[in-house]
């Protein structure tokens, strides 16, 4: 079970479920299945991400290529009570926030992009995702979030493969801040915005069938629309970061690349070269340390991390390498990250880059 599939199998099925996972405050960093369905634009919401997995490492990235897109990601703020006293200015607890949010939507409160009836229906859908253990709690406050097991059940309900880019299609819609946690607010507001942006015969309905239809339309869209693929690619980096970190671990990055460029649907390869295979082999040779885990399986630990710049430029390099497998677009004078420069040189030394005249090369499997 390679790459991303092994990671998510381990994460969703081995990590203990938590009733109330905490969300440390993140820092600000810059760095179609149905032809009748009218796709609303992907959400513009961006939030810093958490990925509570083991064996994290630290590192840095490098320079900016000429055509890179960078974003300033908003800081996740805490909602505060209004009022004059010092006590009133303290943040609400997670349960209190959920109760306030739930009551606002039920009582036809702040209604920006979807009517209160739609949000009420979405709240009921979220309630269906809550575990039996949480449903049996004595307190009367609504559950603010669901954990790993319920997230997996939700993905299965939508017929989504969690070991591929399909995962990020769903998480981007529900405004997830981490893998393995979906909040009520993110689920309701995210889907409410999608529904409000749809219309006519292609209107998304606030039910499971409507969600499945929209998600699978976007899954197909990701294979044909470079701008939308960029949206979920960039979002993957956000949910892959630890709170307060500028980079993601290389182990997570490699797993994400293997899922985003899944071979049977969205391969990063050209006529003669398996570029994803070459890229991951290069990273393993340069930074990887192979260890055997408790299950007797080999795992690779990496001695550095992946910056936002390197993550962004890898997508651009992938797109160009699939169009020109001779890599004639690359030169040492350009502002590609240093690691990509090293990769190009490595490919040429290994004979992976095809000769422009005869197209011969070594395909890395």
Classified as helix, coil or strand, 290 is: strand
Residue 303 domain flag? yes
Question: The pTM is what?
Answer: 0.71
| Residue 70 belongs to some domain of the structure | yes
Report the length, in residues, of the chain: 365
The reported pLDDT for the residue numbered 71 is: 41
Q: Which pLDDT score is estimated for 39?
A: 52
- The per-residue pLDDT for range 197-244, each reduced to its tens digit, is 987 778 899 999 999 999 999 999 999 999 999 999 999 999 999 888
Is pLDDT above 90 for 108?
Answer: no
pLDDT at 73 over 60: no
Say which residue the tokens 């006293």 belong to: 85
Q: Does residue 361 fall inside a structural domain? A: no
Structure tokens at 83: 């009022």
Average pLDDT over residues 3-16: 48
Write down the pLDDT at residue 142. 87
Using CA atoms, how far apart are residues 343 and 356, in angstroms rounded to an integer? Answer: 19
Name the residue range of residue 245's domain.
3-74+90-349
Q: Which two tokens stand for residue 314?
A: 């890898």
pLDDT for the residue numbered 27: 34
Residue 165 has pLDDT above 90, yes or no: yes
What mean pLDDT comes out for the span 312-333?
96
Residue 90's Cβ-count burial label (10 Å; 0-12, 13-18, 19+) is exposed
> Does residue 362 form part of some domain?
no
Residue whose entry in the numeric block shows the structure tokens 């840095």:
60
Place of tokens 């690779």: 300
Query: Whole-angstrom Cα distance, residue 2 to residue 75?
Result: 34
Least Cα distance to 186 among 199, 197, 177 occurs for 177
* Domain-embedded: residue 187: yes
Q: Is the pLDDT of residue 264 over 60?
A: yes
Percent of the chain with pLDDT over 70: 66
User: Rounded to whole angstroms, how far apart are CA atoms 304 and 63?
Assistant: 16
User: What is the sign, positive or negative, of the torsion defined by CA atoms of 280, 283, 286, 287?
Assistant: negative
Question: Which residues, including other chains, have CB under 8 Å from residue 77's CB and lie 6 or more apart?
Answer: 25
Indicate whether 355 belongs to any domain: no
Is residue 360 included in any domain, yes or no?
no
In this predicted structure, what is the pLDDT of residue 133? 86
The pLDDT of residue 45 is 46
pLDDT level of residue 173 (50, 70, 90 thresholds): very high
pLDDT at position 100 = 52
Higher pLDDT, 289 or 89: 289
Top-confidence residue, 291 or 16: 291
> What secondary structure letter does DSSP report for 107?
T
Give CA–CA dist 32/34, Å, rounded: 6
Closest to 179 (Cα-Cα) out of 11, 306, 46 = 11
Residue bearing the bigger pLDDT, 26 or 157: 157
* Total domains in the fold of the chain: 1
* Residue 10: predicted pLDDT: 53
Query: Would you call 314 helix, strand, or coil by DSSP?
Result: helix
Distant-in-sequence, close-in-space partners of 26: CB < 8 Å, separation ≥ 6: 47, 48, 49, 50, 75, 76, 177, 241, 243, 244
C-alpha to C-alpha distances, 295 to 66, 209, 292, 299, nearest whole angstrom: 45, 38, 8, 10
Q: Are 344 and 65 in contact (CB under 8 A)?
A: no
pLDDT tens-digit series, residues 179-191: 899 999 999 999 9
> For the chain, how many helices (H) and strands (E)?
13, 6
Answer whether residue 328 shows pLDDT above 50. Answer: yes
| CA pseudo-torsion sign 117, 32, 146, 177 | negative
Percent of the chain with pLDDT over 90: 53
Q: What is the pLDDT at residue 202?
A: 81
C-alpha 139/C-alpha 95 separation (Å) is 10
Q: What Å distances lie between residue 358 and 144, 174, 355, 361, 364, CA to CA?
A: 60, 48, 6, 9, 18
* CA 136/CA 50 separation, integer angstroms: 28
The answer to whether residue 79 sits within a structural domain is no
Angle at 357 between CA 355 and CA 359, to 5 degrees: 55
């Amino acid at each position: 079970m390679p790459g991303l599939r092994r990671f998510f199998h381990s994460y969703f099925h081995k990590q203990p479920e938590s009733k109330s996972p905490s969300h440390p405050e993140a820092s600000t960093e810059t760095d179609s299945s149905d032809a009748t369905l009218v796709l609303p634009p992907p959400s513009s919401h961006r939030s810093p991400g958490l990925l509570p997995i083991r064996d994290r490492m630290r590192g840095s990235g490098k320079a900016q290529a000429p055509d890179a897109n960078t974003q300033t990601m908003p800081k996740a703020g805490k909602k505060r009570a209004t009022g004059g006293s010092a006590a009133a200015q303290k943040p609400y607890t997670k349960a209190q926030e959920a109760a306030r949010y739930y009551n606002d939507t039920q009582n036809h409160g702040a209604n920006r992009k979807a009517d209160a009836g739609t949000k009420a229906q979405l709240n009921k859908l979220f309630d269906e995702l809550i575990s039996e253990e949480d449903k049996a709690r004595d307190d009367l406050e609504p559950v603010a979030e669901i954990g790993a097991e319920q997230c997996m059940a939700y993905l299965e309900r939508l017929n989504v493969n969690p070991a591929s880019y399909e995962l990020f299609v769903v998480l981007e819609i529900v405004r997830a801040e981490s893998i393995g946690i979906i909040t009520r607010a993110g689920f309701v507001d995210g889907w409410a915005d999608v529904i409000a942006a749809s219309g006519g015969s292609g209107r998304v309905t606030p039910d499971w069938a409507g969600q499945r239809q929209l998600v699978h339309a976007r899954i197909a869209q990701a294979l044909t629309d470079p701008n939308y693929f960029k949206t979920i690619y960039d979002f993957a980096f956000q949910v892959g970061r630890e709170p307060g970190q500028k980079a993601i671990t290389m182990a997570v990055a490699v797993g994400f690349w293997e899922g985003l460029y899944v071979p049977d649907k969205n391969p990063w390869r050209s006529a003669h070269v398996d570029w994803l295979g070459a890229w991951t082999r290069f990273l393993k040779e340069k930074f990887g340390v192979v260890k055997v885990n408790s299950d007797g399986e080999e795992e690779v630990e990496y001695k550095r991390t992946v910056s936002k710049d390197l993550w962004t430029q890898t997508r651009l390099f992938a797109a160009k390498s699939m169009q020109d497998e001779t890599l004639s677009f690359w030169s040492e004078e350009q502002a590609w990250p240093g690691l990509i420069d090293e990769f190009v040189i490595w490919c040429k030394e290994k004979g992976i880059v095809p000769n422009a005249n005869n197209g011969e090369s070594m395909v890395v499997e």
